[in-house]
Amino acid sequence: MKQIKYILSAVLVTLTLSSCVWDLKVTPIDPIANTADKALVDQASYESFLAGVYMGFATSGYYGANGSASISGLDGGASQYIRGLYHHSELTTDECVCGWNDQTIKNFHWMNWTNDDTFIYAFYSRIFMVVGMANEFIREAKASSLEFANKQQMIDEARVLRAIAYYHAIDNFGNVPFADETAIVGALPTQIKRADLYEWLVKELTDLIDNSALPERGATVYGHVNKSVAKFVLAKVYLNAEVFAGVKAYDKCAAVLKDLMDDGYSLHTSSAGKYPAYQELFLADNNKCTDEIIFAIEQDGINTTSYGCTNYLIFASTGGEMDPDEMGISSGWGGLRMTPEFYNKFDDKDARKLFYTDTQQADIDDIGEFSHGYAFRKFRNRTSDGGYGKEKGFVDTDFPMMRYADVLLMAAECEARGAAVDGYKGFNQVRQRAGLAAISAPSLQNILDERARELYQECWRRNDLIRFGQFTSSAYVWQWKGNVKTGAAVEDYRALFPIPDSDRLANTNLSQNEGY
């Protein structure tokens, strides 16, 4: 993707992105778009098309951060995929608040969002834009008589990207519209039950692991998916099976994790000296950390830019008296901070305690005041040798969507839940890298807290709290949960987000999630 810059394949005019198919008013808005039979004429055009599917996770559009967004009617910056994932996964938890007055952004942390929330609609739209693009790529490639090197591999890459998007759909929205490449173009999609989408994901990912042309780890081009990525997603599906489908699948999750552990990944433990090894995973040259990063969403300060993804994480985490130069950027946006409950999970010796506390107060008396709540300094646009990214206005830092540390922590959780896997050893390897003592038999709460410390800002916190029964309940509260300063329980139905009203009105096949 860093080589293929701003690409909007002319084939996008035929994608299943318009309201007649997905009823999201997700309209391709390239004025020079052409039809598939004229655009997909050689291997290079298919590579461009597939790059566009990857870029669905990385940017807001195909013409740079200041260019036209690929979804009409939505702000390009605020609607970027990873930024939307962050809103849903982190702002709704103890981990993060955003103090801006942008429309309904504060409602995420207050947990009082409504059916017509713009940010929910934006993320929902991004998910199904990726699904639609992947479907059309698979459909066109399968139907084409054109033969070229790696054609089947490219089809299978698109299938994995589609599975990632559907994973976010099942996790955040439950019962969602569903279509694959066999769907009739122009037909309204039907709604799939959450348990049925779980079964589809299991079948699809198992086939990709066992029978696909996906490369193994050693033959992978950085930024592309491989069999290890399919295993990681399948492990996540099994780990959350009780939430998604009402069945326990920890033994199955453990089996997939053991297979993934044989793929040659390891914790990143060697440091260039300027920063701890852990922080190198979140710097401008983290593309070097292929020992641990299984799959990353690429960013480049010149060629792949947006106001979302890690650009959002770094700029929005910088404000007040913080030094933007230390973060490798030109200025801060002053938005993201953490609650005191989250900060208190960290021991002072923890190398992952990458926070700014000077001139900040721990308590959040006013969610709109940046100095209320400690700030993040985990992601930076600085290089491991102390240098800077290519630009200070946009970052080079890739978003590590999948890491080996998460694999080890998932294995520990499976063991704690009774599965046959030697997971505690890996759990303590994660702690050892952070400079912490081992725990011989960690409890489930130990594991949940370790996941918080290891994976913060990586878009797993909401998912974890739900699985551990602490997201909506009074079992665990944090400041401003339920729009109460001291925190309060919220309705259980908020474990899912609503299907946007605009989509339901356009497609009568869709029913609303319970409670909305």
- Give the CA diameter of the chain: 64
Structure confidence by residue, pLDDT tens digits, 39-61: 889 999 999 999 999 999 999 88
pLDDT digits (tens, 9 = 90+) for 165-201: 999 999 999 999 999 999 998 899 999 999 999 999 9
How many other CB atoms sit within 10 Å of the CB of residue 270?
9
HSE of 501, CA atoms in CB hemisphere, 13 A: 7
Q: How many angstroms separate the Cα of 357 from the Cα of each of 321, 363, 373, 423?
A: 10, 11, 8, 34
The pLDDT-based confidence of 38 (bands split at 50, 70, 90) is confident
pLDDT class of 460 with cuts at 50, 70, 90: very high
Q: Which residues contact 340 (CB under 8 A, 6 or more apart)?
A: 362, 363, 364, 373, 374, 479
Mean pLDDT of 209-228: 96
Structure tokens at 7: 């690409």
Apex 368 CA angle, 362 and 370, nearest 5: 50
Banded model confidence at residue 66, pLDDT cuts 50, 70, 90: low
Query: Helices 404-416 and 250-261, interaxial angle, to 10°?
Result: 140
Q: Is there a contact between 260 and 407 (Cβ–Cβ < 8 Å)?
A: yes
Token look-up 């969602």 returns: 176
**Taking a C-beta distance cutoff of 8 angstroms, is the pair 330, 389 a contact?**
no
For residue 474 the two structure tokens come to: 């009074």
Percent of the chain with pLDDT over 70: 91
Q: Which residue has the higher pLDDT, 88 or 34?
A: 88
The arithmetic mean of pLDDT across residues 203-209, rounded, is 98
**pLDDT > 90? residue 412:** yes
Q: What was the pLDDT predicted at 442?
A: 97
Give me the domains of the chain, ranges plus CATH numbers. 10-192+497-506 (1.25.40.390), 266-477 (1.25.40.10)
Model confidence pLDDT, tens digit, residues 90-127: 999 999 999 999 999 999 999 999 999 999 999 999 99
Reported as half-sphere exposure (CB side, CA atoms, 13 A), residue 285 has a value of 15
* Residues 6 or more apart whose Cβ sits within 8 Å of residue 148: 42, 43, 46
Q: Is residue 388 predicted with pLDDT exceeding 60?
A: yes
Task: Calculate the average pLDDT of the chain.
Answer: 91
For the range 253-256, what are the long-range contacts, defined as Cβ-Cβ under 8 Å and sequence gap of 24 or more? Answer: 253/410, 253/414, 253/419, 254/411, 254/414, 254/415, 254/419, 254/420, 254/421, 254/423, 256/231
Tokens matching residue 119: 């940010």
pLDDT at 69: 72
For the chain, give the number of residues.
516
* CA–CA separation, 242 and 239 (whole Å): 8
- Separation CA 307–CA 188 (nearest Å): 32
Phi, psi (deg, nearest 5) at residue 58: -100, -30
Nearest to 231 by CA among 213, 249, 258, 251: 258
Give per-residue pLDDT as tens, 271-300. 988 999 999 999 999 999 999 999 999 999
Cα 53 to its chain centre, rounded Å, is 15
